[in-house]
Structure 1
């Protein structure tokens, strides 16, 4: 595949999927009635703290996901859920608008949850969305949490991961580009133009597989050409005007001889 070429990864289903336990099984496992489990979730003040603690522990242990459409919500329209990072990123905002428009045109509602790139926040958001029994989920990165991957593989909904496609197997469908290839090509292009000290600026990389692969591609292109490489030339800043100004100041303070900056 040529650098930067869009690709759709083929669905790969886990070899083994576990049966999700329901409210009745949760109740039986701790010796209470199903109605007690229901009360603990919907009216926690009507259940003793100790009983609620046992119920919540069982729910966490068994991966039980309450159905948010139960009890008067069954008339809700078809839902597509999505988990997105902070909307300060204009590119994400455009994606959300596009998803919303497409969903509306086809008679679906878009249910949006905002999270960060940590596995804990991701799993919490996915659990909440699955409680609404969505027709599908659109996720802004490959799912990191093993528990969340099991929930998704077993939920029966279509799952689309918008992310880095290099070296990863999607739960269902992945749509994206090779960020490694595009960053490698960009760095190689700058080197071919005669730039010798190339700095790299990005938003915070932790938990973001796309940014991770861009940085790896940048580094590999420098290594392959025997060019100067130093961690001091890599800067992570917020995606704001101030962040951009700070990145420029930091790089020039660290190495005034930098002759080009690759802003990822």
Structure 2
């Protein structure tokens, strides 16, 4: 039966180096790691993970909690996290919270019982999270993803949500829109939505325009058009709407077209996330693009640094605006008339 010594001999390395290839591959040169892995495959060797965990007192598992897997943003993030974790010798335990703070507590408690080495969490409201209060008393390293950082305990990986939505609002203003609204899911369930609404308000006020209260939908990714209808009619009706995520924007476009309205002719629509599906729609979706895969890679790297005892403070990741067909210039027929000056 193959063992670590025979793997080391075939790979031309010491037993200690072969062991590091399985326990901490990031500490080896890529070529050395490749030789050890090839030797292990040739000999049919698989390390005893349980024994390794007992020796190191580490489970080599990372707990990851996201609100939902319905939104491709989280799915793409998780794929990148899984690849980065696997390259470092770790596995992921993944679960979803449904934006439910009570479920968040139960999930984290279960992960702590499983002795995960670190936690990467997306919570509903970081500043008022009971589960984060609990984790302040725990020794397990914890990282937030998408949420704003909660100093000094929990660093965060994400974009600057306020600045990103302000950029999207300015884009619409530059296209001639003045009556711009914003829709999102339940505001109390998402600090990201709150920050994005603050960015919208700041950009509107800076342009001398009147920001509106967020028009809340029952769900984060599905539009109830009846809640938006009162703001659409008449001379003072909205000409553009910002959405707190792309799935909400896609749902809005579908509901508008089913109601006989055109996009962007009757209403321009801007999303937030940059999921690939938005490129393939007609009209294609104008949106704020978050670097979803980079979220995953940076999250794992930051969490592993925390596990090693470092104190990383990741900077906000960059966002870009992706122009699409769903947000057009304000039609001349809907522009406010110039004031009469005899």
Q: TM-score, normalised by structure 2?
A: 0.48
Whether contact under 8 Å (2:178, 2:239) holds in the other structure is yes
Q: Unaligned 5+ residue runs, structure 2?
A: 1-52, 245-342
Matched, 1:188 2:170: yes
Pairs within 5 Å for 1:1-264: 77-141=59-123, 143=126, 147-165=130-148, 168-169=150-151, 171-231=153-213, 234-236=215-217, 238=219, 240=221, 243-244=222-223, 246-247=224-225, 250-256=227-233, 257-264=237-244
**1:139 CA displacement:** 0.6
**1:97 CA displacement:** 1.7
Q: TM-score, normalised by structure 1?
A: 0.61
**1:121 CA displacement:** 2.2
**SS, match of residue 157 in structure 2:** strand
Q: Aligned residues, how many?
A: 186
Structure 1 CA distance for aligned equivalents of residues 173 and 231 of structure 2: 21
CA RMSD of aligned residues (A): 2.8
Change (3 A) 1:156 1:223: same
Q: Unaligned 5+ residue runs, structure 1?
A: 1-72
Greater relative contact order (Cα 8 A, min sep 6): structure 1 or 2? Answer: 1
Whether contact under 8 Å (1:88, 1:239) holds in the other structure is no
Change (3 A) 1:170 1:121: farther
Whether contact under 8 Å (2:65, 2:121) holds in the other structure is yes
Whether contact under 8 Å (2:59, 2:117) holds in the other structure is no
Structure 2 CA distance for aligned equivalents of residues 83 and 107 of structure 1: 20
Runs of 4 or more above 6 Å deviation: 73-76
Structure 2 CA distance for aligned equivalents of residues 229 and 113 of structure 1: 37
Structure 1 CA distance for aligned equivalents of residues 135 and 156 of structure 2: 14
Structure 2 CA distance for aligned equivalents of residues 146 and 205 of structure 1: 15
